[in-house]
């Protein structure tokens, strides 16, 4: 048969169809976002009024130039700094941390039992944790602790054959220690991923066995929450799980409500290291609507979107994860880690812009925590960081910075009316300002909170 141009073109078409379209598959199609901006304006912003008065409370009957700036969102935009175990002491660590502090008002720190009590009864302060705590407090960044209890990362001395009666006092002692030692930490994961303790792959685990002896995830979590609230009643305690699709997690939340258990928020992880784990616009919204029914604030506690070539599914991903676990050194972890791709960095940035915008527009979402600040020693060995391996910003970092610090920001530069009052609509949070009276500039602060009707009274001196 003669091979004609027609045959050649047909061959090219078949070849093209058979090739994996990696680049095209990773182009993010912008989400429709109908009603998003209106919802954000309705639930994240509100009107407020400032009255500038004399020290005796009398009105200042003159027009004043005033500057007002949102310093800290009421909404919690967080980043996980658990990877500091590997980053601390490395080159450009302060650069990494400064970039995190520039954007985020919450940092999540890991307090793994296996780290802080390697020998039974001998609790040790971990340098990178304490240093991050000091840094966060100095910058007035909120802190989240993780976790109070977890069947992973437990000390080696804990005997798998120990009876529940022996394990329970140890758990109680740990909870009391963490909450009393770190009163500045207001948010904690309770028993983290409690539903996972009953999965088949968790075997001969003393904490998981204790959970089962208590009557299952809900009963154990109710007990942990009770101990936590008795120890520090002003905390925000989160029932957190790794999969929103797990029917057992939904069942657990229903059971906690039936038991009358105290828990303050539902935490859901959204690690998207594989194509199958990625959430579309409709899937993310359905997730939030599904968990809205429990009447609790929703925290998206661990968000990951890599800019390295994705795995198709967990089955494809698992050998990579196992090899990372078996890496004998940080150097070997870097060899195994997948590298960032410039085109996929664009995908990561554009996807996160839509993900954050949609989540921010949902009335039950209270906290968004991006999990890995840097590609260097990212926990799954992918390029899911907001900074590259040298701790330089990727497009995703710039997108989140622009959203949080520019688009969702309030800055007022105006004059009061002739009676010394000014009104504006702004995002809820902590504000600072400057005003001039008789040529002298004075500073002031105030909190703009949801539901506050009365004006803020700002006293000025001559």
The yes-or-no verdict on residue 11 having pLDDT over 80 is no
Beta strands 298-304 and 365-370 are parallel
Strand partners, 237: 188
Mean pLDDT of 419-428: 97
Phi, psi of 446 (to 5 degrees): -165, 160
> At 13, is the pLDDT very low, low, confident or very high (cuts 50, 70, 90)?
very low
Tell me how far apart the alpha carbons of residues 313 and 229 are, in angstroms, rounded to a whole number: 39
pLDDT tens per residue across span 380-414: 999 999 999 999 999 999 999 999 999 999 999 99
Mean pLDDT of 432-440: 95
| pLDDT (0 to 100) of residue 328 | 80
| pLDDT (0 to 100) of residue 10 | 39
Closest CA to 367 of 313, 315, 419, 303: 303
| pLDDT (0 to 100) of residue 161 | 84
Closest CA to 52 of 395, 332, 443, 340: 443
pLDDT tens per residue across span 166-195: 999 999 999 999 999 999 999 999 999 999
Task: State percent of the chain over pLDDT 90.
Answer: 88
The mean pLDDT of the chain is: 93
Mean pLDDT of 72-88: 96
Domains of the chain in sequence order: 46-64+416-460 (2.60.40.1120), 75-406 (3.20.20.80)
């Amino acid at each position: 048969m003669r091979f004609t141009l027609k045959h050649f073109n047909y061959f090219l078409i078949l070849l093209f169809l058979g090739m994996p379209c990696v680049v095209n598959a990773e182009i993010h199609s912008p989400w429709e976002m109908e009603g998003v901006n209106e919802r954000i304006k309705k639930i994240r912003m509100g009107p407020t009024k400032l009255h500038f008065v004399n020290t005796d409370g009398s009105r200042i009957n003159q027009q004043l130039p005033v500057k007002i700036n949102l310093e800290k969102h009421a909404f919690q935009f967080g980043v996980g700094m658990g990877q500091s175990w590997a980053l601390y002491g490395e080159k450009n660590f302060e650069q990494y941390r400064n970039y995190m502090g520039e954007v985020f008002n919450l940092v999540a720190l890991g307090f793994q039992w296996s780290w802080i009590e390697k020998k039974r009864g001998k609790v040790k302060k971990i340098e990178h944790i304490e240093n991050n705590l000091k840094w966060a407090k100095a910058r007035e960044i909120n802190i989240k602790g993780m976790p109070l209890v977890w069947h992973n990362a437990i000390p080696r001395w804990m005997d798998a054959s120990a009876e529940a009666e022996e394990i329970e006092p140890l758990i109680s002692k740990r909870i009391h220690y963490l909450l009393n030692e770190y009163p500045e930490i207001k948010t904690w994961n309770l028993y983290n991923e409690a539903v996972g303790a009953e999965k088949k792959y968790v075997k001969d685990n003393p904490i998981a066995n204790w959970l089962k002896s208590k009557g299952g995830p809900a009963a154990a979590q109710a007990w942990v929450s009770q101990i936590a609230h008795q120890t520090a009643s002003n905390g925000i305690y989160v029932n957190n799980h790794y999969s929103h699709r797990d029917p057992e997690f939904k069942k657990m939340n229903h059971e906690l409500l039936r038991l009358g258990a105290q828990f303050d928020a539902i935490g859901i992880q959204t690690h998207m290291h594989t194509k199958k784990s990625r959430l579309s616009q409709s899937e993310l919204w359905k997730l939030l609507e599904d968990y809205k029914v429990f009447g609790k604030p929703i925290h998206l506690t661990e968000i990951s979107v890599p800019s390295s070539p994705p795995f198709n599914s967990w089955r494809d991903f698992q050998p990579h994860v196992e090899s990372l676990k078996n890496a004998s050194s940080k150097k070997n972890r870097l060899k195994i880690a997948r590298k960032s791709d410039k085109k996929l960095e664009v995908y990561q940035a554009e996807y996160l812009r839509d993900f954050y915008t949609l989540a921010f527009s949902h009335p039950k979402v209270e906290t968004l925590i991006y999990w890995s600040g840097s590609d260097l020693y990212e926990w799954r060995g992918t390029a899911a960081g907001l900074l590259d391996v040298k701790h330089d910003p990727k497009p995703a970092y710039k997108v989140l910075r622009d959203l949080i610090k520019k688009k969702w920001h309030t800055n007022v530069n105006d004059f009061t009316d002739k009676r010394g009052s000014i009104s504006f609509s702004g995002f809820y949070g902590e504000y600072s300002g400057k005003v001039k009276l008789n040529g002298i500039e004075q500073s002031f602060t105030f909190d703009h909170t949801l539901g506050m009707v009365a004006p803020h009274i700002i006293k000025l001196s001559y």
